[in-house]
Homo-oligomer: A and B are copies of this chain.
Amino acid sequence: MTGDTPHNLMIRKLGRIFHLCEEERQALQDLPMQVAVVKADHDIVSIGDRPHQCCMVLQGFTCVYKLSYQGRRQIMALHVPGDIPDLQSLHLKVMDVSIASITPCTVGFIQHEDMRRLCDRYPRLTAAFWRETLVDASIFREWLLSVGQRDAYARMAHLLCELLIRLKAVGLVEEGNTFDLPITQSEMADAVGISAVHVSRTFQALRANGLVETEKMKITIPDWDKLKQAGEFDPLYLHLDEGIAA
């Protein structure tokens, strides 16, 4: 589960895309990473910053968000262990979003300098990291479709589908499609673009229809097919289980 070392988390993730040779594996293993603990609800990087490092989520959940001038928050992505939310900063000097912890987190910082050295030496790793940012972009697009064209019910169902799949991929889902979702309804509201009150009502509808069960911060999906259908969920956009183009 999360009893994994930071580097193994990364190696396992990149290794799903194509077979890493021993040298690449070792290079990743040697990548200097500074581990830090972050309290819940704290910015890890802020919009306007010019970071000289990337951060990988090791434990906990983080989100990418932005505020409108009226102070309304849109959460644009949720990140789970193994993700690198600000990989973009490697090539975009100034942050155009903020990244915050939503639970207490441990994160690993990797200096851009080290990252660049790694990429220079191993072009296949460059491609793999590039690909990671492309998958992130694909998820943004799917969220855009959700927020633009689906109603609240479908949006929430869709988000839950996505989280189940992504958490499964990092071994954070228990038997019976149950997983921890330490997220406030108000945060979920900011993610799907509806009000917190309406999240509450929509959750009730989902529960009433037997698509979701909730207990504290634990979610279970009793009927995966029904939830998928309600959320119009097609995992294509997550680009799992396909090799990188040779």
Q: A residues near B, CB below 8 A?
A: 47-48, 64, 66, 68-70, 72-74, 76, 88, 90-94, 96-97, 112, 119-120, 123, 126-127, 130-131, 133-138, 140-145, 147-150, 192-193, 232, 236-237, 239, 242-245
Cβ–Cβ < 8 Å partners of A144 in chain B: 74, 76, 140, 143-144, 147
Q: Are B91 and A244 in contact (CB under 8 A)?
A: yes
Residues of B within 8 A of A97 (CB): 138, 141
Q: Is the CB of A92 within 8 A of B239?
A: yes
**Are B134 and A91 interface neighbours, CB within 8 A?**
yes
Judging by beta carbons under 8 Å apart, are A92 and B131 in contact? yes
Other than the known A47-B236, A144-B144, what 7 A-B pairs have Cβ atoms closer than 8 Å?
Answer: A66-B141, A76-B141, A94-B236, A133-B137, A140-B144, A147-B147, A147-B148
| Neighbour of A130 across the interface among B91, B136, B141, CB < 8 A | B91
A149 touches B72 (CB 8 A): yes
Question: Given A120-B123, A123-B120 in contact, is the A134-B92 Cβ separation under 8 Å?
Answer: yes
